[in-house]
Amino acid sequence: MAQLTSRIKEAREASLVLAALDTGTKNNALKAMAAALDGNRERILEANRKDVSAAEEMSRRGEMPASLVKRLKVDDEKISGMVAGIEDVTRLEDPVGETMSALKLDEGLTLYQVKCPIGMLGVIFESRPDVVPQILSLCLKSGNGVAFKGGSEASNSNRVLFDVLTEAAYSAGVPRGAFVLMETREDIGAILGMHGDIDLLIPRGSNEFVRYIQENTRIPVLGHSAGICHVYVDDEADMDIALAVTLDSKVQYPAVCNAAETLLVNSKIAGGFLPMMAKLFKESGVEMRVDARAKAFVPKDVAIVDAKDEDWDAEYNDMVISIAVVDSLDEAIGFINRHGSHHTDAIVTRDGGRQSEFVRRVDSADVFVNASTRFSDGFRYGKGAEVGISTNKVHSRGPVGMEGLMIYKYVLIGNGQVVKDYVGKDAKRFLHQRTDERYGG
Amino acid sequence: MAQLTSRIKEAREASLVLAALDTGTKNNALKAMAAALDGNRERILEANRKDVSAAEEMSRRGEMPASLVKRLKVDDEKISGMVAGIEDVTRLEDPVGETMSALKLDEGLTLYQVKCPIGMLGVIFESRPDVVPQILSLCLKSGNGVAFKGGSEASNSNRVLFDVLTEAAYSAGVPRGAFVLMETREDIGAILGMHGDIDLLIPRGSNEFVRYIQENTRIPVLGHSAGICHVYVDDEADMDIALAVTLDSKVQYPAVCNAAETLLVNSKIAGGFLPMMAKLFKESGVEMRVDARAKAFVPKDVAIVDAKDEDWDAEYNDMVISIAVVDSLDEAIGFINRHGSHHTDAIVTRDGGRQSEFVRRVDSADVFVNASTRFSDGFRYGKGAEVGISTNKVHSRGPVGMEGLMIYKYVLIGNGQVVKDYVGKDAKRFLHQRTDERYGG
């Protein structure tokens, strides 16, 4: 543990050098990493076979779902996918050094707001080996050091991938030690106390896992612990759109955080909409948990369940949906802000005024009009790479790409100016002129 | 306490309505607040007289410095200043609803990143009554609810200012209850546990106070607990600039966080620079705490103190400076990153390469070239109003204005699009075209 702590402190030092690397060096390192993956296929596959056979053994004993074993498996095609992923990151524009704004304070005194890496990240993903090259390449391109922990069931694969990639990067000029692999649960416990050394934690995994991280560290945490998304069907909704958007939001991939868990229907159209929607849900095998008012509109031949209070705060991640009838847009907005997880919520309506009221008042990272909640995703948002989805109210919100790994510094370039000249009698006045000048240093 | 908690929960509800208020209503409310201040001068002065006479009593007993009594005092001119401050905020552009970026995902499916308030703030300022109108007007204009606590010695003044201002705002259409005044230390303890209800805490006061807040809450905290700023005089420095910038950084106003605490001098020019600098410091009454190498360059007639280890990590906020000699830019950068508080650090050099290396590698919110550290300030940065100075690595860094009270939401406007059509065989492809369109809702 002491060793992990000191490796992370070294990584923090190295990250300060990494932050200042030029784009060419970083891209060359990324190319070296892609080539190293390509050139070490047998070594990677061999390590992965160990993980997979251990997982298969667990699966036979009923200790691991078959789907997890499948996701764990790396083959030649997956390695090629990892190589392509690194090449994608290589092509992303280097955000470091970008001038976000510039202000002429006075003649010869210009203030630049310049984008820079956050510094040292802690990334904890309970997941498949593909994530190792993805995280390392993103951190390198954005100039951040990282302490990374992947899923324990992939530990052999993760170790080899990490070694192959970091050796290539270090040989190409990346400061040695900027990337740290964590391998045990105890490692996670240790880094939670390292505020001051780690600037941002990015956990991905079960809701319980993310909540545990959030509740046990003073380091800022980027992410979300729940995805309770709503679709509200307004009385001015187009019926075809309402049916299609609601169905897609629920059934297109119910296991994920941006799938809908609750459907709210305006009472004025519940009689027209709910019977059709209930039939579609029935055909798709969706269990409906309905309040008393919604129940009245479901055809007798469709099986339903009476919703309990806890259903309005439940994230099913499954083919289950809770349904309530509301009397107004105002009631729907209040319901969503109270029961939702501030992730993604959609309204279906043709009325422009209600669209914008919903958008302005729903307190969620992603607020959609006449579109499926399932669009809430870094790839669909065109981010190139997704770091996670945030329900935080500061820094980054919604799907987060490389931009979420960046902050800025203020750079003031003068030629000897002192504050004394700008105060008191005969004080010089500030110009405060916006300028398009870029910081060139 | 239970009452405070429920008032803050009500304020959070009200803040969701406040977030959606149009600019006209907000500006009218601000005008009403300014008029109410102007029309209630006698009531404000009377309340302030109570605070001042209690403070004078404490001052006579030696329990309060006279400077604090002076800062507490409100007179007609100060009220006019408060009115002018609200008028300044009224003129600031409304940031809510601004489109930060827009991306056409497909025909008829556009994603907007739209600026919005963070939500519910907790602002704890150990300070003078002037801050009440400043914070309330900033929160109103930015659409945020706030629970505010001012200095206890100003409690009568704060209460009257708060009542006058909020009554005016509520009468002009601001949702009643969006602003809460906290009055006791116990109130602060209570809100520290209200993550989920309060989105961001902004404490200002002593280092100990800010650190206490940071260490006792899971709510994100914006601010800084220390200001250990450096000036590094490189061997390529212009001597006049080095003398002027170093002197101003230390003596122009030593009590504040952006004053320099440590001077680093390159050994190649220490023999030329330090004797002159030491004379200037002596003339200004600055105590010098020097390392062994610096000591050798200080003229015999200038009194100095041997620096102890703890001097390199000390924030004096006084007419004291620690001085060390270093052999290279690299050593200076390492020293600053190790001992500084990531606030504001300056280099004096004519060499462009060293300027940019310093800027890129010093891990501070504000990195200056040939200018005094004292420029690090919201007013000087042209922000109109300053919320605080942040040494955080996420969200906001350096002097923070109203922009630090904002976050964004993603608004997706479609006409019935579903994710099912964008996956699998024959999947529709995303366009991901940047567009200049603004969200108009």
- Interface list for A 3-22 with B (CB within 8 A): 16-17, 19-20
Q: Which residue of A has its CA nearest to B413?
A: A369
- Whether residue B367 and residue A410 make contact (CB cut-off 8 A), yes or no, is yes
For the cut 60, the answer to whether the pLDDT of residue A1 exceeds it is no
- By DSSP bridging, strand A388-390 and strand A366-371 are unpaired
This prediction's pTM: 0.94
Which residues in chain B have their CB less than 8 angstroms from residue A371's CB?
A: 109, 412-414, 416-418
- What was the ipTM of the complex prediction? 0.95
Q: Averaged over A433-437, what is the pLDDT?
A: 96
B381 contacts chain A (CB < 8 A)? yes
Nearest to B209 by CA among B193, B189, B190, B229: B189
Q: At what angle do helices A131-142 and A76-91 cross, to 10 degrees?
A: 10
C-alpha span between B304 and B326 (Å, rounded): 19
Nearest to B364 among A111, A371, A409 (CB): A409
Q: What is the mean pLDDT of residues B6-26?
A: 96
Does A369 contact B at CB distance below 8 Å? Answer: yes
Question: Mean pLDDT score of chain B, rounded to an integer?
Answer: 95
B contacts of A363 (beta carbons < 8 Å)? 16, 19, 119
With a CB cutoff of 8 Å and minimum separation 6, the contacts of A93 are: none
pLDDT digits over A176-198, tens only? 999 999 999 899 999 999 999 99
Q: Do A369 and B412 touch (CB under 8 A)?
A: yes
pLDDT tens for B270-293 read: 999 999 999 999 999 999 999 999
A chain contacts of residue B214, beta-carbon cutoff 8 Å: 218
pLDDT at residue A2, rounded to an integer: 65
Cβ–Cβ below 8 Å for B111 and A364? no
Measured distance CA(A25)–CA(A310) in Å, rounded: 54
- Probe site for chain B from A418, A422, A429, A435 (most B CB atoms < 10 A): A418
pLDDT at B1: 55
Q: Is B240 exposed, middle or buried (0-12, 13-18, 19+ CB in 10 A)?
A: exposed
Which residue among B119, B248, B410 sits closest to A393, beta carbon to beta carbon? B119
Percent of chain A predicted with pLDDT > 70:
100
Backbone angles phi, psi at B175, to 5 degrees: -60, 125
Q: How confident is the model at residue B68 (pLDDT cuts 50, 70, 90)?
A: confident
What pLDDT was estimated at residue A11? 98
Q: How far is A185 from chain B (nearest CA, A)?
A: 22
Indicate the residue of B200, B398, B414 with minimum beta-carbon distance to A394: B200
CB-based contact A19 B105, cutoff 8 Å:
no
Q: Which of B439, B315, B2, B7 is nearest to A358 (CA)?
A: B439
What confidence tier does B2 reach under pLDDT thresholds 50, 70, 90?
Answer: low
pLDDT for B205 beyond 90: no
Asked if A429 has any chain B CB less than 8 Å from its own CB, the reply is no
Tell whether the model's pLDDT for residue A173 goes beyond 60. yes
Cβ of B376 within 8 Å of Cβ of A432? The answer is: no
The whole-number pLDDT of residue B115 equals 98
Mean of pLDDT values over B355-383: 96
Q: Do A395 and B395 touch (CB under 8 A)?
A: yes
Please identify among residues 332-351 of chain A the ones whose CB lies closer than 8 Å to any CB of chain B.
Answer: 337
**B17, A417: Cβ pair inside 8 Å?**
no
Chain B's closest residue to A431, CA to CA, is B382
- What's the pLDDT score for residue A128? 83
DSSP B316-339: --SSEEEEEEESSHHHHHHHHHHH
| Distance between A202 CA and the closest CA of chain B, angstroms | 13
Whole-number pLDDT of residue A224 = 86
Burial class (CB in 10 A: 0-12, 13-18, 19+), A346: buried
pLDDT at A65: 87
Residues of A within 8 A of B365 (CB-CB) are: 409-410
Are β-strands B406-417 and B109-117 bridged in parallel, bridged antiparallel, or unpaired?
antiparallel
φ/ψ of residue A49, rounded to 5: -60, -40
Burial of A164 per CB tally in 10 Å (0-12, 13-18, 19+): buried
Mutate to test the interface with A, among B411, B429, B432, B438 (most CBs of A within 10 A): B411
Q: B407: which chain A residues are within 8 Å (Cβ-Cβ)? A: 393-395, 397
- A329-to-A228, A264, A266, B162, B413 alpha-carbon distances in Å: 19, 10, 8, 33, 18
Average pLDDT over residues B169-189: 95
| Residue B1 in contact with partner chain A when CB distance is under 8 A | no
Query: Once rounded to an integer, what is the mean pLDDT over residues A101-107?
Result: 97
Indicate yes or no: CB of A367 within 8 angstroms of CB of B118.
Answer: no
pLDDT tens-digit readout, A245-298: 999 999 999 999 999 999 999 999 999 999 999 999 999 999 999 999 999 999
**Mean pLDDT computed over A140-168:** 96
- Residue in A244, A375, A413 closest to B369 by CB: A413
Q: What is the mean pLDDT of residues B140-162?
A: 96
Interchain CB distance below 8 Å, B413 and A248: no
Q: What is the mean pLDDT of chain A?
A: 95
Residue A207 near chain B (CB below 8 Å): no
pLDDT tens digits for range A67-86: 889 889 999 999 999 999 99
Nearest CB partner across the interface for B409, out of A17, A240, A364: A364
Digit-coded pLDDT (tens) for B371-429:
999 999 999 999 988 889 999 999 999 999 999 999 999 999 999 999 999 999 899 99
Reported confidence tier of residue B84, pLDDT bands at 50, 70, 90 = very high
- Nearest alpha carbon to residue B441 among B28, B95, B90, B98: B98
Q: Choose, out of B120, B234, B251, B394, the residue to mutate when testing the contact with A (most A CBs < 10 Å).
A: B394
d(CA A420, CA A428): 9
B79/B82 Cα distance (integer angstroms): 5
* Model confidence band, residue B441 (pLDDT cutoffs 50, 70, 90): confident
Nearest to A441 by CA among B309, B62, B368: B368
**Farthest CA pair distance, chain B:** 86
For chains A and B, count residue pairs whose Cβ atoms are closer than 8 Å.
247
DSSP A386-407: --EEE--SSS--EEE-GGGGEE
**Residue A225: band (very low, low, confident or very high) from pLDDT cuts 50, 70, 90:** confident
**Tens digit of pLDDT for each residue in B233-243?**
999 999 999 99
**For the residues B120-136, what does the mean pLDDT come to?**
91
Which residues are within 8 A (CB) of A5 and not within 5 positions of it... i.e. 6 or more apart? A190, A194, A197
Closest chain A residue to the Cα of B98, Cα to Cα: A360
Percent pLDDT > 70 in chain B is 100
- B413 and A105 in contact by Cβ < 8 A? no
